[in-house]
Amino acid sequence: MDIARFASDLNPTSLLFLEDSYLVEFKAVVLRSSREKRRSYICLDRTIFHPRMGGQPNDEGFLECVDGRIHIDKVFISGGVIVHVGSIVEGDIPRLGETIYGWIDWLKRYRIMRRHTAGHLLDYCISKILGKPIHTVDVWMGDPCYTIYDECIDVDDISSIEYEANSIIRSDRNVYAIYMDFEELQHLYPDAPNLYRIPRGLEKYRIVVIDGYNGIPCTGTHVRRLSEIGTVKLVGVEYIENRSKIYYDVHP
């Protein structure tokens, strides 16, 4: 299936997870559906399924319609349109205009949320310990979870970074999203680690703020309070030319 062609000429999907990362179930209207053998492809007017994007693995879950049930295991975004892809567990795919019910695998999602907020916090801590702004090159919140920094981070600094992060987690700050244009973003958060690589020309940017620490342009799902991370553990570092790939995870 050509995902871009399948999603073409539909209006952008309303991304419910941007306003509330804690939604586990939802209802939506089917705008397009198709099947190839046991695989189904579905576009909805709105969704809680986060696609594989911004370092987050896609959510998994189920969509249930009058005629059947589909296990969603891949979620793509193309031109702002989310395409839910999965195997038909029972019956058939939903019909155009039908209202369907869906839910996500919350354990998988919540772990991603905790890792994602921990990643933003590590960005702050690394910049603080190194005493200068740092750039991130790539992030991945699947297994194994890591961030690549455009900097050689000394292995001796790793325990200080981890100690700093866990101290801040214990202060249990709020985490929330605010919206602003690019000019305001550059003015308020000039040291955001991904500022140099985010797309330009958007009307509004979503900034995820760890209260009192940092703000990073981000469309991901995050926890509401730092204490939800639990403990962050830096599990290894790999050097690739002048870059450091830091592996980390959250516990318990």
Q: Which is nearer to Zn ion, 63 or 218 (CB)?
A: 218
Q: How far is the CB of 124 from Zn ion (least distance, A)?
A: 12
Q: Which is nearer to Zn ion, 65 or 229 (CB)?
A: 229
Scan residues 28-47 and list those touching Zn ion (CB under 5 A): none
Q: Which is nearer to Zn ion, 28 or 122 (CB)?
A: 122
Q: Which is nearer to Zn ion, 86 or 217 (CB)?
A: 217
Q: Looking at 39-47, 146-154, 165-173, 218-226, which segment touches Zn ion (CB under 5 A)?
A: 218-226
Q: Which is nearer to Zn ion, 33 or 117 (CB)?
A: 117
The yes or no reply on residue 215 touching Zn ion (CB under 5 A) is no
Number of residues that bind Zn ion (CB under 5 A): 2
The yes or no reply on residue 218 touching Zn ion (CB under 5 A) is yes
Cis-peptide into 94, omega within 30 deg: no
Q: Looking at 13-21, 140-148, 214-222, 223-231, which segment touches Zn ion (CB under 5 A)?
A: 214-222
Cα 207 from Cα 179, distance rounded (Å): 6
Q: How far is the CB of 202 from Zn ion (least distance, A)?
A: 16
The yes or no reply on residue 220 touching Zn ion (CB under 5 A) is yes
Q: Looking at 100-108, 161-169, 211-219, 235-243, which segment touches Zn ion (CB under 5 A)?
A: 211-219
Which residues contribute to the site for Zn ion (CB under 5 A)? 218, 220
